[in-house]
Amino acid sequence: MGAGARWRHPLVWAWAATVLVFMYVPALCLLLASLTSSRYFIFPITKWGVAWWEKTFDSLEIHALFRTSISVALCLTVVAVVIAFCGALAFARYQWRGRTLFQRLVLLPIFFPQSVLGLALLLWFSALGLDLSWRTAVFAHLVWIAPVVTLVIAIQVYSFDPALEEAAFDLGASRWQVFREVTLPVLFPGVFSGALFAFLLSWGNFPLSLFSTGADTTIPEYLYAKMVAGYTPGVPVLGTVSTVGAAVLLLVGYLLIRLGRRSRRDDAVERT
Amino acid sequence: MSQTHILRLDSVVKRFGGLTAVNGVSLAIAEGEFFTIVGPSGSGKTTLLRMLAGMDTPSSGDILLRGERINDMPANQRPTCMVFQSLALFPHRTVGQNIEFALKIRGVDAATRKARALELMAQLRLPADYYGKSVTKCSGGERQRVALARSLAYDPAILFFDEPLSAIDYKLRKTLEKELKDIHRETGKTFVYITHSLEEAMVMSDRIGVMCAGEMVQVGTPDEIYTAPRTRFVSEFMGDVNVVPVRLGPDGRLHSDDPPSVFKAPTLPEGFARGHLVVRPESMRFVERAEQADNHVAGRLYNEYALGSRIQYQVRVGERVFIVERLRQQAFAGRLDDAVLIGWDAANSLVVGD
């Protein structure tokens, strides 16, 4: 029995289907829970409707939430990618004294419990007399997300042949031209994935935001607060939008990478 | 004389911490020469080449390009170009974009760039429709040609090669070696090539420099290196040879302890007292009687190997193994473990130092 035949075995399919169901049914329930016209959470749903969707989208409060979450995630993405790109080169590209120590230190914040990290940051912010807002949240997210993005980009850097830079330099390119023409484009898929990671991790982050946003509120914070007290079907609506938004972003990102590769090839073909 | 030397090295040394990778290499390479540096891994040949290309700077000594000291000139300002061991083709670029890279950096317009790229592709027998092909989709041999075309587009005064053929299978390598020699002839440029394969060096080079432990132990034409190696290292680097430690006796003959014997000596270098007697396997032959050759030893036929056009025989003499090679058409009829007598003429042997 070959590998191909093994993959076609019905049990394999049954197992895969079970895993998928366990992973995605909760998200589906979220969508179903939002499609009620009742004020309360009753399952199974007796009266269907999209009233809560309309209400949610019309709410100014919700608009403010989106603005805050997007501001935090976008600012964080830009800063995290710049820091992580340099960090990834130090992590994986260059041999230097203290590299091993650096690698350990970079990894450490990832395994630190985020709620503790959030509290520690809050103490620092108040010690330094900083006013809490979405800007401090960017910093707080950075402490946890920059290391993750560093790792994501470092994976790409590990597969980078340093001879590529030497070859470009040898062919007359300046250091800056080497970076622009070779290093950055070759590492770009890693940088792009890193940016997606940064945005999505910030978008969904709750524990760090809780301690660092002050008067501003992000979507996960709002969802939590509403679930603790004051549930309305607006919660699953917002949850669904947030989840689907993230999924769409991932999908678009993936398509962009594929499209980018193809267009580069087509460009070259057209020039022939 | 110095006018015709494009590249001169004067006691070039490179140290990495406590390690001396290149230890005082002096060398002069002529304009238009195909010069190959051979040596085993760790002999310092790659370090030497990287200093010539401007990717490392010498710890001491001088590198002169057409009389100008270039020790500290960075690689992007040197009129030299390197073909890397990994080829280092830009994976995000097409064949055409790879070849045009140097021209693009110089600000040459797209039409001129393309014309030059297509010209080089034709010269290197790459089909013109490969221009828009991704380099990652090219075969090993095609990638070699793209790498060479990319370097030629730079129009360098000297082209360096860092073992570019080492990862290629035997048959294709043989073809590419010959192509490279043809390209050298067509372009008239100076080629400096490094390899660990003396066989590869022999096929292509005008001159060969053999490196060992950071030093250039012998420089000469392929013929000189082959027929007159100066040290045991160089003679053994050539492939399988018979090497017997000997000392010069008062009788003018060479005395050996293992096997205990006395041999008729070839022409000896002045002042020779002890060293190694070297006999190539093709100069060894099976004899029936001792008088049929100047020298002989008796042993047992231990094993035989088919090497394509030749057959190699191992003959055990005590603990030492001698090797004899014959053309396939003249295969030796002996059976394994037969007692055999092998011999050679003094004129076909030579003595070398350590």
pLDDT, tens digit (0-9, with 9 covering 90-100), for A196-229: 999 999 999 999 999 999 889 999 999 999 888 8
CB B183 within 8 A of CB B148: yes
- Interface with chain B: mutation pick from A161, A171, A180, highest number of B CBs within 10 Å: A171
Give the CATH number, domain containing residue A96.
Answer: 1.10.3720.10
Report the complex ipTM.
0.84
pLDDT at position A227: 86
Q: Does B137 touch chain A (CB under 8 A)?
A: no
Give the whole-angstrom CA distance, residue B59 versus residue B50. Answer: 13
* Residue the block writes with tokens 């095609």: B142
Residue A227 located in a structural domain: yes
Give the whole-angstrom CA distance, residue B239 versus residue B282. Answer: 12
Verify whether the Cβ–Cβ distance A167 to B114 is below 8 Å: no
Which of the pair, B292 or A5, is modelled with greater confidence?
Answer: B292
pLDDT at position A2: 53
Residue A2 located in a structural domain: no
pLDDT at position B2: 45
Kindly indicate the confidence band of residue A84, based on its pLDDT and cuts at 50, 70 and 90.
very high
Q: Does A161 touch chain B (CB under 8 A)?
A: yes
The tens digit of pLDDT for each residue in B226-244 reads 888 999 999 988 788 999 9
Q: Does B101 touch chain A (CB under 8 A)?
A: yes
Q: Does A41 touch chain B (CB under 8 A)?
A: no
Terminal Cα-to-Cα distance of chain A (whole angstroms): 47
Q: Does B91 touch chain A (CB under 8 A)?
A: yes
Closest CA to A117 of A88, A148, A91, A87: A148
Residue A153 located in a structural domain: yes
The tens digit of pLDDT for each residue in A241-264 reads 998 899 999 999 888 888 877 766
**B271 contacts: CB under 8 Å, gap ≥ 6:** none
Q: Does A180 touch chain B (CB under 8 A)?
A: no
Q: Does B110 touch chain A (CB under 8 A)?
A: yes
Residue A6 located in a structural domain: no
Kindly indicate the confidence band of residue A266, based on its pLDDT and cuts at 50, 70 and 90.
low
Whether the link from the prior residue into B259 is cis, omega within 30° of 0, is: yes
Give the whole-angstrom CA distance, residue B266 versus residue B286. Answer: 20
% of chain A at pLDDT higher than 70: 93
Give the whole-angstrom CA distance, residue B224 versus residue B233. Answer: 15
Ordered by start, the domain boundaries in chain B are 2-232, 240-352
Would the pLDDT of A38 be above 70?
Answer: yes
Verify whether the Cβ–Cβ distance B102 to A271 is below 8 Å: no
Question: Stretch B166-181: mean pLDDT, rounded?
Answer: 89
**Nearest chain B residue to A162, by CA:** B88
Give the whole-angstrom CA distance, residue B90 versus residue A168. Answer: 9
Question: Stretch B17-44: mean pLDDT, rounded?
Answer: 93
Would the pLDDT of A270 be above 60?
Answer: no
Give the whole-angstrom CA distance, residue A114 versus residue A120. Answer: 10
- CA distance to partner chain B, nearest, from residue A163 (Å): 6
Kindly indicate the confidence band of residue B290, based on its pLDDT and cuts at 50, 70 and 90.
confident
CATH architecture for segment(s) B2-232:
3-Layer(aba) Sandwich (3.40)
% of chain A at pLDDT higher than 90: 58
A-chain residues near B96 (CB < 8 A): 268, 271-272
pLDDT at position A267: 53
The tens digit of pLDDT for each residue in A3-23 reads 556 667 888 889 999 999 999
CB B85 within 8 A of CB B162: yes
Residue A271 located in a structural domain: no
Residue A70 located in a structural domain: yes
The tens digit of pLDDT for each residue in A169-181 reads 999 999 999 999 9
The beta-carbon neighbor of B154 closest among A172, A177, A264 is A172
CB B78 within 8 A of CB B65: yes
Give the whole-angstrom CA distance, residue B310 versus residue B307. Answer: 5
B240-352: CATH number: 2.40.50.100
Give the whole-angstrom CA distance, residue A176 versus residue A187. Answer: 15
Verify whether the Cβ–Cβ distance B81 to A170 is below 8 Å: yes
Verify whether the Cβ–Cβ distance A166 to B75 is below 8 Å: yes
The beta-carbon neighbor of A268 closest among B77, B94, B154 is B94
Q: How many domains does chain A have?
A: 1
Would the pLDDT of B219 be above 50?
Answer: yes
Residue A105 located in a structural domain: yes
